[in-house]
Amino acid sequence: KNIGGYLDLQSLTSAKGLILPESIEGSLFLNSLTSAEGLTLPKNIGGYLDLHSLTSAKGLTLPESIGGDLFLENLTIDEILNIELPNSVLDIYLMDGIYSLEELKKLIAIKRERLDLQAKRDVMQSNPNITNENPKRGNINIWYILIPAFTLLLGIVIASVIYKI
């Protein structure tokens, strides 16, 4: 269940079949692991977590707490946008820099907000009837209602004149 020291699995290239303890008091070295698929990390790691060879964040679930640094140097902020970060960690090493947990959370929030805004812009550009004020109904031009109604009314008047004569 628990390991009192560190766990050195630097040469491991696949997590297939790997069963890790629930907690490691020291560091966990998975330096050669290129994929997180099948990897179940401990809930708590007292030292460093080294995953610097990961080439994708797909399937990655990070521990709740890391006592040392987190090494993900082959990944960018954009690649970890949908990953839940640990509650505690010293520094996080990514391809685009070294960040404290709070800095990274702020950057991720900004990037997510920008992506949301861009998605809204894309939807609005693809459907010009949608507006910010009324996204469901859209901005309907009144003439699209009045012209058919007027045409129908005119048809009724003409028909009544024809049939009376």
> Which pLDDT tens digit goes with each residue over 97-148?
999 999 999 999 988 888 888 877 777 777 665 555 555 555 566 766 777 7
How many degrees, rounded to 5, is the angle at CA 145 between CA 143 and CA 150?
A: 85
Share of the chain above pLDDT 70, in %: 88
Q: What is the pTM of this model?
A: 0.71
